Amino acid sequence: MQTTLTDQQQSAQARFKAFVRTEILPHADRIDQEEYTPRELISKMAQQGFFGTFLAEEWGGTAMDMITSGILHEEVGYGCSSLRSLLTVHSMVSYAIQKWGKAHLKARWLPLLASGARLGAFALSEPHAGSDAKSIETTATLQGGSYRLQGQKKWITYGQIADVFLLFAQVEGKVSAFLVERDTPGLSIIPIRGMLGTRGSMLAELHLQNCRIPAENLIGGTGFGLASVATSALDIGRYSVACGSVGIAQAALDASLRFVHTRKQYGAFLKEHQLIREMITNMQTNVSAARLLCRHAGYLKDIGDPTTLMETFIAKYFASTAAVKAANDAVQIHGALGCSNEYPVQRYLRDAKIMEIIEGSNQIQQIHIAQYSYQQHR
Amino acid sequence: MEATRAKIRAFLAKFFQHADLKDSDDIFALGFVNSLFAMQLVLFIESEFRVTIEDDDLDINNFRSIDAMAQLIERKTTSHLAM
């Protein structure tokens, strides 16, 4: 793997950074405080082609290599984890349809998703099923030419505004995946507010009461909802969260660097104090290591290496943990100021904690990574 | 076809370390199969044999044994060449 970026990747990175600094950063605290993402900001991201990076050109996507897509998710995550989570779930849905959807679903949805004219959201979690996805209770019953959905989904990122949901339900005891349009009769959407972090990601509950969808909206075949559709979509989601976590950690480091160069205590700038240096050292080292793990996972995706699944687990586990540590230290360095909304570091800490929970909690990551390690040791 | 089987056998050996897998053994019946393994298997077949596993290929019988996978790959390769 080449560890330096190509000229094209560096150019894309500069474009992403410029967009984040001018269009996202000025609004990030407000998005967090108001628990709302302005539509005009989503439109600006769409104009940049940010919603189609995982899609082929034939569908209107930009077919970016995975490392460049990862850089985009890092940079957006640097500015605002809520907006990065929009890219995450939208990319998961787009990728799943492109990989596993039938021709008519691809033709209908992919151009709309690639342009950002329609937004996708991922609906797996339920009130009683999170990590244990096989135990979801929502059911889909085939009746004539349609499936009748019955149940409830919870914690659905951008569920408040998504146009189409990749939704998982039990079909005769087997988890299967479906596309459900927002305006389907029988689907009601209840906003969730008051979350700890990524507060602008407009979470929702989905209530499905006799919700009928066409039978051809099934994706991946009956019983393949988890093994193919969810696993491949979650791999993309995990990669996005890993890269977004690097963005949070870098933002925490940058905020800390600005602060330690200007704040004086005991007659010296904070940067001169050895215990501050220790925290800065750990932040810098972890950011660099996490970024390399993400680039490695992205490289393996680009070459189609099956180990990318587990390397992405490792990247997500390390990067999310590093983001929490970095944001926690950033708050510590800022002292009381770090606990106030005058500084963004408290937002970084709240957002970072979410990264340890979503797309597979870190305990689930640990279980799988240990198993992977056992496989390597023969 | 034997070369294909050998490559599949080598891949599966990482996951079924204590099982002496025969080409006709049902890997689902032997256990150790979860959704993560299934996805790694799909990625392995796609990258190793330069085929694309699609929605219509997602039939559990296509992945049940080394023989079944070798036949799927043979079909995919043949249909690709015929196009």
Whole-Å CA distances, A259 to A156, A332, B21, B54: 36, 11, 60, 52
- Do A130 and A204 have their domain in common? yes
User: Is residue A2 in a domain?
Assistant: no
- Do A255 and A156 have their domain in common? no
- Do A215 and A288 have their domain in common? no
Taking the Cβ of residue B81 and every Cβ of chain A, the question of whether any pair is shorter than 8 Å is answered with no
Q: What is the pLDDT along chain A (378 residues), one digit of tens a residue?
A: 888 999 999 999 999 999 999 999 999 999 999 999 999 999 999 999 999 999 999 999 999 999 999 999 999 999 999 999 999 999 999 999 999 999 999 999 999 999 999 999 999 999 999 888 889 999 999 999 999 999 999 999 999 999 999 999 999 999 999 999 999 999 999 999 999 999 999 999 999 999 999 999 999 877 777 888 999 999 999 999 999 999 999 999 999 999 999 999 999 999 999 999 999 999 999 999 999 999 999 999 999 999 999 999 999 999 999 999 999 999 999 999 999 999 999 999 999 999 999 998 999 999 999 989 988 876
- Do A218 and A261 have their domain in common? no
Tokens of A315: 């990247």
Coil/strand/helix, residue A221: coil
**What are the extents of the domains in chain B?**
2-82
- Do A203 and A319 have their domain in common? no
List, in order, residues 6 or more apart from A19 with CB less than 8 Å away.
A44, A45, A48, A75
Does the beta-carbon distance from B58 to A102 stay under 8 Å? no
Integer Cα distance of A227 and A282 in angstroms: 38
Task: Tell me the residue range of the domain where A169 lies.
Answer: 121-224
- Do A125 and A253 have their domain in common? no
- Do A237 and A368 have their domain in common? yes
Integer Cα distance of A151 and A309 in angstroms: 30
Residues of A with Cβ-Cβ distance to B41 under 8 angstroms: 306
Taking the Cβ of residue B19 and every Cβ of chain A, the question of whether any pair is shorter than 8 Å is answered with no
Whole-Å CA distances, B18 to A37, A369, B14: 52, 20, 10
Angle at A197 between CA A193 and CA A198, to 5 degrees: 80
At A316, which CATH number?
1.20.140.10
A92, A119, A146 - which closes a domain:
A119
- Range list of β-strands (E), A50-145: 120-123, 139-143
**Which residue does chain A place closest to B14, by CA atoms?**
A375
- Do A326 and A185 have their domain in common? no
Active site residues of A: 359
Residue A221 burial by CB count (10 A; 0-12/13-18/19+): exposed, middle or buried? buried
Taking the Cβ of residue A303 and every Cβ of chain B, the question of whether any pair is shorter than 8 Å is answered with yes
- Do A159 and A201 have their domain in common? yes
- Do A232 and A346 have their domain in common? yes
Integer Cα distance of A235 and A232 in angstroms: 5
Q: What is the ipTM of this complex?
A: 0.85
CATH 2.130.10.10 for domain B2-82: no
Tokens of A347: 């937002």
Does the beta-carbon distance from A304 to B47 stay under 8 Å? yes
- Do A139 and A215 have their domain in common? yes
